[in-house]
Each structure stands twice: as structure tokens, then as C-alpha cells.
Structure 1
Amino acid sequence: MRKISVVGIGAGDPDHLTLQAAKTIGRTDVFFLLDKGETKAGLINVRERIIRAYSKPRKRIIEGRDPDRDRNPADYTGTVADWRHRRSLVLEELITENLKDGEIGAILVWGDPALYDSTIAILEEILDRGAVEFEFEVIPGISSVSALAAKHRIGLNRVGQPFQITTGRRLAEGWPDGVDDVVVMLDAQQAFTKHPEAEIYWGAYVSTEDELLASGPVAEVADEIVKTRTEARERHGWIMDTYLLRRP
């Protein structure tokens, strides 16, 4: 039986790799990497550096092209479902052609595979089709949310209080009920600007060489964050940012 490990590698710092992840990488025969294009070549480079540092000499690295998708579609759910399906077809072909019976494959995932990542769902879709069989395991990693809190030296929750993790798309529809602390990911709309009464703890490219951090009342730092974010996206061609919004 083929086996695949979905390995969380942290938010960008190679030192985020856990001992469990390092051991898993060390016994992997085939690594599957999905290339997102030249503008995100740095994402591939970090994975390759980790593989070189911890893998066995005779490992194989197989790259496939990650399908493009509309980042601002009218039908967001349908567009994501279609993208995941096309992604699953690419990965299924790579596994079928390159992972032999008895071998171990690995997919290195930014942050933690359980938090706003599609790899687990894609592998389940491949298995449901039944064209190829394998077992898979999930190795947790340090998420961008954990890294953000550490960089700002804050706790995500206040004493006895809940917090919620959501997306910029959902925050744009309104502040979630029942919580005063909201962690926001995937915010292309910069929805935090609609909440000047809140405190914000913001970070982009957290734990990488390009890390950017800002914090303070939204009313005072929103313009600075929007400007910094726009310039960074133009410079790198992409951006990954996360923030905590905290109401008084």
C-alpha cells in the first residue's frame, strides 16, 4: 500500500519544523510539490530547502502545476470547489505515475494542514474516485495564527472568553456574534478598515525574511497597513497576511 504524509511545515521559518515533521520528511521517498508560478517561486524554494536539510539522499521531488483560479469570483464556493477538483486531478496523476507500492510520499503544507488548507479534502476526493489507493496521515504544524500571536507577544483569547477564526470575506458581512476577539485570514477586502473601534495585530509573510508587522487602534493604523500591504503585494506579486481584531 502506498502511504502519503501531509506535513505541516510552519508559517515560513524553517525552524518551525517539528521533530515529528522532520522524522517524517526523513523517511519520505517522494515529495509532491505544486508550483504556483514564478511570482510564488519563494514558496517552492523554502520547501526544497527543508527537503534538502532533512530528507534521505535518494528521495525524489515531483513537481506539478497548480491550477489557476479566479480570486474574486461571483460564486466563491463553486469556484473553490472547481479549483479543488482540478487540483485533485493533477495530484492524482502525480501519485499514480510516481509513487510505487510500499513507498512513502509527502506533501509539505504551509502552517497547519487543518487550518484553511485544502490538501486533506483533495486527498479524500482522490480516494473517493477509487482510481488509486493509498493511506494518508496528517502531521500538524505551526500555523500563521500561532506565529502571529507569538510575534506580537499576545494571547489569542482573553480570560474566560472565546475567539473566532474567520475570513475577510465573512468579516466584510459583519462582526461575528458572541465574540470580541476575531482572527482573520484571507482578507483581500481589507475588511478591518470597517471596524475603527477595534485594536488590530497584523502581520504579513510572518516568520519569513519579508515579515511585516503592525499593531494599534484600527482608526490610527489602518491607512498605514493598507499602504504597506499594497506596496508589499506589488513588490512580491502575492501576499499572505493574518490579523487579530480585538474589540474593547
Structure 2
Amino acid sequence: MRKIHVIGIGAGDPEQLTLQAVRALRGTDVFFILDKGEVKSDLTRLRRDMLDTHIPEGTYRVVAVRDPERDRSAEGAAYSPAVGDWRSARARIYERLIAEEVGESGTGAFLVWGDPALYDSTLGILEEVLGRGAVEFAYDVVPGISSVSALAARHRTGLNRVARPVQITTGRRLAEGLPEGVDDVVVMLDAHQTFLQYADQDIHIYWGAYIGTPDEILVSGPIAEAAPRIERLRAQARERKGWIMDTYLLRRNPEGEQR
């Protein structure tokens, strides 16, 4: 039966690949890369650099296809259906790739930023492909170092404090308010700099963009002081590169005990 690896490749640093990930890379015949266009060509190049670092040249194939566009204007009740349509479009592409590019006893792989289990759609899409019944395959998942873990490491801080929870959420949910009863909140997928609406509160922010890459930017400090600097650096980076991926930790009552 065809075999598919879903490999977490970390936040961008080739040295963040685990030994398990490297072993899976070396056991793969063909790698599938979704091309997000010229603006985000850095993401494709980083993947290829990882392959060149860990696999002998000429021993593997790469098949790149254009990632379907998602309706990013959808809001409110229209948001979930728009995401569902985009995932189904990806599922049709995955189905074709696996059927046409992976031999009946061959092995393919999808390289997933960070960790496949954290805010990534690959596993759900593969289940949708299997549910269609047109192509059979088995798949496994290799965990990776997420931007969340890399962020905490780069700032030399823990995500939680003694006997206190930490919550991972999105900018869209953060806009609705800080979660009740949680003082340590990690925010991902925030295109609108939602942290700015909390700049008048007693909160410490640990922020990072392009974590694990040569373009990495880190800022930390009381949010009232750090927010303007983050806003400026973020705008400059986006203008320079055309895209940005950032993650941050908000810590209320920052003087409280930390583990």
C-alpha cells in the first residue's frame, strides 16, 4: 500500500528537524510542496534547503503544485464555510498527487511547518481524501518543533507558570477578549495585530516573526512599550518581504510566579 509521511519540519531552521523527521525524509520517494506564489517563494526555498541538507542529491523527487486560493474576505458565519471550501480544494489536489505520483508501494511526504497537530489542516485533508475512497494509502505523523516552542526558547521563558494554565488561540478569537481564568495566552494566525487593543493593560508580550530563519525578529517587554515597536518592525518586514508569519505570548500579571 502507498505510504504517506506528514513531517513536521519546525519553524524554519534546518537544524530543528528531529532525528525521526530526518529518517522519514530519507525514506521518502517523492515530496509534495504547495507553491504559494512568488511572494512566498521563501517558504518553498526553505523546504528545498532542508531536503538538500539532509538527503543526498538526486535520490528524491519534488512535485510542486499551486496552492488553491482561499477567500480571506469571509467573516462571521461565512468564515467556516470558506475554510471548508478551501480545504476541499486542497483535498482534490492531494488525491490527484497521491494517485498519480506515488507508486502502489511507494512513499510520499508532505512537509508541514512547525507541528502537524497545531493549527495545520494536513491531517484533516488526508482524512477527507481517504473518505472519498478513490485512492488508498496509510499515513503517519512525525511531530515537529512548532513556532510556539521556538518562540519560548528564543525568549528564554516558559509558556506557563506554576499551577496555572496556558492557552493557545488565534488573533480572531483574541479580538473577542482575553480568555477568562488564563493569564498566559499564546496567539497564532493574527493578521490584524490584535495585541494592540491590550496596550493599556498590565501585560508582558513576547513576540517573534520568521522564527528560526535568517530574517528572525524578536521583541519582548511591557506591552505598552513594546507594541509600537512591534507594529513598526512588522510593517517594515511585511513591506520588505511581502508576507509575515509571527507568533506571540501575552502574559498578564507578569510579576507572578513563573516556573
Same fold (TM over 0.5): yes
Whole-Å separation in 2 of the counterparts to 1:149 and 1:53: 26
Q: Does 1:139 align with 2:142?
A: yes
Structure 1 stretches of 4+ moved >4 Å: none
Q: Does 1:55 align with 2:60?
A: no
Residue 7 of structure 1 contacts residue 138 of structure 1 at CA under 8 Å; is this kept in 2? yes
Cα shift at 1:54:
2.3
Whole-Å separation in 1 of the counterparts to 2:133 and 2:161: 46
TM-score, normalising length from structure 1?
0.98
Cα shift at 1:94:
1.1
Q: Which range moved further: 167-176 or 192-201?
A: 192-201
Q: Which range moved further: 83-92 or 49-58?
A: 49-58
Deviations 1:35-54 (A, max 9, x none): 00001111111111111222
TM-score, normalising length from structure 2?
0.94
Partner SS state of residue 166, structure 1: strand
Equivalent position amino acid for 2:55 in 1: S
Whole-Å separation in 2 of the counterparts to 1:230 and 1:155: 28
| Partner residue in 2 for 1:44 | 44
Equivalent position amino acid for 2:147 in 1: S
Whole-Å separation in 2 of the counterparts to 1:107 and 1:236: 25
Whole-Å separation in 1 of the counterparts to 2:252 and 2:81: 33
Whole-Å separation in 2 of the counterparts to 1:60 and 1:178: 49
Whole-Å separation in 2 of the counterparts to 1:21 and 1:169: 32
Whole-Å separation in 1 of the counterparts to 2:130 and 2:113: 23
| Partner residue in 1 for 2:16 | 16
Equivalent position amino acid for 1:233 in 2: R
Counterpart among 162, 172, 181 of residue 169 in structure 1: 172
Equivalenced residues, count:
248
Cα shift at 1:59:
1.5
| Partner residue in 2 for 1:237 | 242
Q: Does 1:120 align with 2:108?
A: no
Q: Which range moved further: 168-177 or 66-75?
A: 66-75
| Partner residue in 1 for 2:257 | none
Deviations 1:94-140 (A, max 9, x none): 11111011111111110000000110011000000011010000000
Cα shift at 1:72:
3.4
Q: Unaligned regions of 5+ residues in structure 2, if any?
A: 254-259
Q: Which range moved further: 219-228 or 49-58?
A: 49-58
Cα shift at 1:195:
1.3
| Partner residue in 2 for 1:31 | 31
Equivalent position amino acid for 1:6 in 2: V
Residue 14 of structure 2 contacts residue 53 of structure 2 at CA under 8 Å; is this kept in 1? no
Q: Which range moved further: 57-66 or 170-179?
A: 57-66
Q: Which range moved further: 226-235 or 11-20?
A: 226-235
Q: Does 1:85 align with 2:85?
A: no
Deviations 1:44-84 (A, max 9, x none): 11111111222353321111110011323222211111111
Equivalent position amino acid for 1:61 in 2: V
Q: Does 1:186 align with 2:186?
A: no
